[in-house]
Structure formats: structure tokens, C-alpha cells
């Protein structure tokens, strides 16, 4: 399984061949065969062109660019799932082999300097106020995120929330005017064979449009317990991750996420998260910043024909309980290992669909499971619990948040990449400042940060922000906040360093 990659896609043209038969043969065939049911077609039929639809939808599709600072000993994978650049194959003992080996070792050494990595993907605007949908793997671990609109306007973005389990993320950008947007449709109405458009904005080169059909529904690609992908043959290429899949009415029926490809390029097997699943996830992210899912605390497996034969169960359907959490809802409802869950709230279920269906139920709600036990069927009530957080989620939630409030003594301008303190006698002596020097002294600069990139060093003194005097850290924080409220893209600091005074612009990255 590969995430979206770049490749060419060739459309195949299928023709119909007409054969000649004698009237006698045709009559015999009609006599021996049952009449075929009439074929109904979509009112749209085969479109002459997708141009009008594409013109209407393209303005709402954006490019999403994220930057991440990676240290030499980082184990994070590349966004496309690769493990990073590999050493080219050279003859053993070749000087080139030694050169590349030494180079890669320097790059990955624990004390190697931080380096910038960039991920590019697509997204789409779902609200005129600037809410943007994309894939989580596009913005994962990002230090800085920007969104480029169809007219090449670049806006900083902040993460409202993300969901690792479905690979969805919700961003927010601020624009002085309402933005073009698209709406979700009903993905359950997408039939196999329906035309679809996949639109992306890779590399910020404006939108790209590809067309295809719905190839299959309900695909499980072993990406997680909630797999229910729409499969399409519309080419989904590198940079199109997070872009929308549209029906012929212009409604979003899926979020393009992955392709199956031996080479990393499109071979006509792409996968999209259905709109009906994405809609609920994104609404939770918008309201709370995280996702709560229903959970009953069981480990299940599909009932195969061999398992059904062993149990004496006919037909071979349902979810076989292979184990349960001793403190979970299933244990409290007295479900047992070996029970076969056949229906949820009266609706028959397949084994692999159970986690997804349970996850959609509100935490604390009551549900009824129809189970098969020792040859008998019975209904059992159960209270839906909350899916426990993963270790990564729990660590992120419990991590202390940085206090953005200023004190009289210290300033932590994390978004700009430096820390500072009000001028004191000790700092005057340490950095050899003049007796009349006023402002905030830079005490620490983060490697790879905007401050480091702009040449700030410990001992530099911030004397003004936006042409207003800076005497305390509170003045510095207030200047940054005022610039944010005024929707400025950057803020100007007057810095006194060893060479004198200079104005330094800093980007206001609202993604922090």
C-alpha cells in the first residue's frame, strides 16, 4: 500500500463489437432465455465535458504546505511512508559509496543540526469563514502550515484538530473576505459505475482535475479498524492527498487518501474516505478539537465458513468475539468469548464493520446486540463506552500547554523562536550592554526557528515592535497579539545587535 504518488495514467477506450447471427439462432436463444431486466441509466449519462463542473469547483480546492524541523536522530518517516533517502548502489569499496555513506551518517547523527522537511498535499474549503479539510499525514508534526488558494493567495493555517485513525485533519485560515467553498454530499448514494472527479492542488501549481468512476464500495485496505473506503479509478497522484472526490452534482463524496501501487504512481486504484464518515469526524473536530468514539471492548474476527462449520452456525455471518476487556462494556453486559454478534440495533452486521458501526454511536447511549450463543439467538442490551485514548493521544493531551501570558521578567516567543528577559544589571554585565540600554534581551534562540533564520542571537535587544517602544516582555507580547488581531502576516521588530539597529520582519504563523 502506498500513499498517493506521481505517475501517468492512460485511459483505455472500450468498444462494443457487433456479431451477426442467423434469425433461427436468435429465435432459439430468445425461446430458451429469460428476458433481461431493463437497464436504467443515470440522467447525466456520459458527460461531453467536465469543464463547467471543474470551473465551478476548482476555486475551493487548495494546496496545503507544511514544514517540519527534523533533528538528526529523528525516527519520523517521510509523509509518503518512505523511510527517507537511501544510499545509491555503488560497487563495494567505491569512493562514491564512502562519500554517500559518510554524508548520510552526518545527516542522521544525533548531534547533526536540525533540517527542514516539507510536505505538500491538497485540501478543500468547506466553509466561507475558512475551514479547510485535508489528510492528517499531510500536516502531521508540522511546525508551520500554509494554504495556497486558487488565485495564489497564501494564508497561514492553524490546526483545529486531527484524527489519526481516519487520517483526517481540519485547518482554519483567516481571510478578509468570504472564501469559495464546497459541501459534502451523501456518499451512500454513490453507486459503483458512477462518474466522479478527483481534484487536487499539488505543489501549488493550481488545481488538477482527473475523472473516473466509482470502482467499488466498502473497501478495507488494512489501514485501521474503521476502513470503509470508496475505490475509484480516477488517477490520484502525488500532492493530491487530502483533495476532494466529487460526484456529477458537485458534491464532495470522498476525501482522497491513498492508492494501491507497486511503484508509488497511480495505477487506477485509489481510495477515498466516504463523505458520510468524514462529515461526523470533522464536525467533532470543529466543536471540540478531538474525536470521541463509541467502544464496547471486544476483539472480534470475521466468521469464515470453516469457523461457522465448527460452531454449527448457518449462514456464516457475524462477528465472533475472540476476547474482551475485563472492564469494558461488553464484559459488564455479560458477553462471552465465542459469542457471535449478528446484528446491531436490529441491523445485520459483518465482522469487520462492527468497530466502525459501534464507533459511530454516541458514548453513553444504549444499544442492542443480537448474539448467537450455543445454538440460540438472543438480544442483549449494552451501554456504549468511550474508546480509550492511544498512548500518543494521552501523552499529547496530558502534556502541559505553554503559557502564552507574559510575565514582568520573561518572554517566551515560541512562535517566533526566541526567549527574552527585561534588561537587568546582570544581563547588562553578561552581554556588555550600555547603562542606558532599554528593551527585552534575547536570552535563547531555537535552532531552525524564524529567529535563527533571521540571525538573532543571545544578547540582541528588542527595542521596538511595530514602531512602538518595548520596555518589558509584556510590551512584546502585546505587540504580537495586536498584529494578529489586525490580521497582519508579519510583525516588525527593531533589534539592537553588535552592528547597530536593524528592522527584522517575522512571519505571524497562526499554525503554532
> Which one of 2, 187, 241, 406 is the catalytic residue?
241
DSSP 214-225: EEEEEE--SS-T
Q: Is 462 left (phi over 0), alpha (psi -120 to 50) or beta?
A: beta
Cα–Cα distance measured from residue 61 to residue 182, given in angstroms and rounded to the nearest whole number: 9
* Pairing status of strand 270-274 against strand 229-232: antiparallel
> Which one of 163, 167, 227, 509 is the catalytic residue?
167
Active site residue 27: no
Cα–Cα distance measured from residue 65 to residue 193, given in angstroms and rounded to the nearest whole number: 33
Is the sign of the CA dihedral 448, 451, 452, 457 positive or negative?
negative
Determine which helix (DSSP H) or strand (DSSP E) holds 64, and give its type and residue range: strand 61-70
Residue 252, C-alpha cell as written in the block: 464532495
CA distances, 195 to each of 44, 188, 190, 192, 273 (Å): 9, 14, 9, 9, 17
Instruction: Judge whether 100 and 106 are in contact, CB under 8 Å.
Output: no
Active site residue 425: no
Cα–Cα distance measured from residue 134 to residue 289, given in angstroms and rounded to the nearest whole number: 15
Residue 54, C-alpha cell as written in the block: 471543474
> Which one of 66, 122, 137, 324 is the catalytic residue?
137
Q: Kindly report the backbone phi and psi dihedral angles of residue 187, in degrees, each rounded to the nearest multiple of 5, phi listed first.
A: -70, -20
Active site residue 374: no
Q: From the centroid of its chain, how far is CA 298?
A: 27
Residue 172, C-alpha cell as written in the block: 482554519
Active site residues: 137, 167, 241
Amino acid at each position: 500500500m502506498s500513499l498517493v504518488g506521481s505517475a501517468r495514467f492512460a485511459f483505455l477506450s472500450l468498444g462494443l463489437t457487433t456479431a451477426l447471427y442467423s434469425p433461427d439462432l436468435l429465435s432459439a436463444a430468445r425461446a430458451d432465455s429469460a428476458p433481461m431486466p431493463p437497464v436504467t441509466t443515470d440522467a447525466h449519462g456520459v458527460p461531453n465535458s467536465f469543464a463547467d463542473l471543474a470551473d465551478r469547483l476548482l476555486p475551493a480546492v487548495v494546496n496545503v504546505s507544511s514544514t517540519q524541523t527534523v533533528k538528526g536522530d529523528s525516527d519520523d518517516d517521510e509523509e509518503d511512508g518512505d523511510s527517507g533517502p537511501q544510499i545509491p548502489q555503488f560497487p563495494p569499496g567505491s569512493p562514491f559509496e564512502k562519500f554517500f555513506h559518510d554524508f548520510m551518517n552526518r545527516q542522521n547523527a544525533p548531534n547533526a543540526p536540525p533540517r527542514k522537511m516539507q510536505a505538500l498535499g491538497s485540501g478543500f474549503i468547506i466553509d466561507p469563514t475558512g475551514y479547510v479539510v485535508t489528510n492528517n499525514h499531510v500536516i502531521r508534526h508540522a511546525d508551520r502550515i500554509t494554504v495556497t488558494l486558487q488565485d495564489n493567495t497564501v494564508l497561514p493555517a492553524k490546526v483545529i484538530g486531527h484524527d489519526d485513525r481516519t487520517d483526517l485533519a481540519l485547518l482554519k485560515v483567516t481571510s478578509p473576505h468570504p472564501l469559495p467553498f464546497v459541501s459534502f454530499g451523501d456518499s451512500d448514494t454513490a453507486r459503483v459505475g458512477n462518474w466522479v472527479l478527483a481534484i487536487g492542488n499539488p505543489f501549488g501549481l493550481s488545481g488538477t482535475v482527473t475523472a473516473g468512476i466509482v470502482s467499488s464500495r466498502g473497501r478495507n485496505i488494512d489501514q485501521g479498524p474503521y476502513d470503509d473506503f470508496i475505490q475509484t479509478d480516477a488517477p490520484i497522484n502525488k500532492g493530491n492527498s487530502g483533495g476532494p472526490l466529487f460526484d456529477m452534482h458537485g458534491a464532495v463524496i470522498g476525501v482522497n487518501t491513498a492508492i494501491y501501487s507497486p511503484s508509488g504512481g497511480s495505477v487506477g486504484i485509489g481510495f477515498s474516505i466516504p463523505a458520510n464518515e468524514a462529515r461526523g469526524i470533522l464536525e467533532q473536530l470543529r466543536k471540540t478539537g478531538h474525536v470521541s468514539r463509541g467502544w464496547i471492548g471486544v476483539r472480534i474476527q470475521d466468521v469464515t465458513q470453516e469457523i461457522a462449520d465448527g460452531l454449527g452456525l448457518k449462514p456464516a455471518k457475524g462477528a465472533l468475539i475472540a476476547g474482551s476487556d475485563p472492564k469494558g462494556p461488553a464484559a459488564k453486559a455479560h458477553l462471552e468469548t465465542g459469542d457471535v454478534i449478528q446484528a446491531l440495533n436490529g441491523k445485520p452486521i459483518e465482522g469487520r464493520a462492527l468497530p466502525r458501526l459501534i464507533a459511530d454511536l454516541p458514548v453513553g447511549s444504549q444499544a442492542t446486540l443480537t448474539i448467537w450463543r450455543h445454538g440460540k439467538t438472543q438480544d442483549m442490551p449494552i451501554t456504549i463506552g468511550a474508546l480509550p485514548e492511544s498512548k500518543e493521544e494521552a501523552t499529547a493531551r496530558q502534556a502541559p500547554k505553554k503559557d502564552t501570558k507574559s510575565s514582568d521578567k520573561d518572554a517566551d516567543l515560541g512562535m517566533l523562536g526566541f526567549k527574552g528577559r527585561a534588561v537587568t544589571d546582570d544581563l547588562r554585565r553578561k552581554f556588555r550592554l550600555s547603562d542606558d540600554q532599554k528593551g527585552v534581551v534575547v536570552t535563547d534562540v531555537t535552532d531552525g526557528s524564524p529567529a535563527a533564520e533571521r540571525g538573532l542571537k543571545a544578547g540582541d535587544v528588542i527595542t521596538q515592535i511595530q514602531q512602538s517602544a518595548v520596555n518589558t516582555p509584556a510590551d512584546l507580547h502585546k505587540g504580537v497579539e495586536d498584529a494578529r488581531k489586525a490580521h497582519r502576516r508579519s510583525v516588525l521588530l527593531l533589534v539592537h545587535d553588535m552592528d547597530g539597529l536593524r528592522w527584522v520582519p517575522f512571519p505571524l504563523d497562526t499554525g503554532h
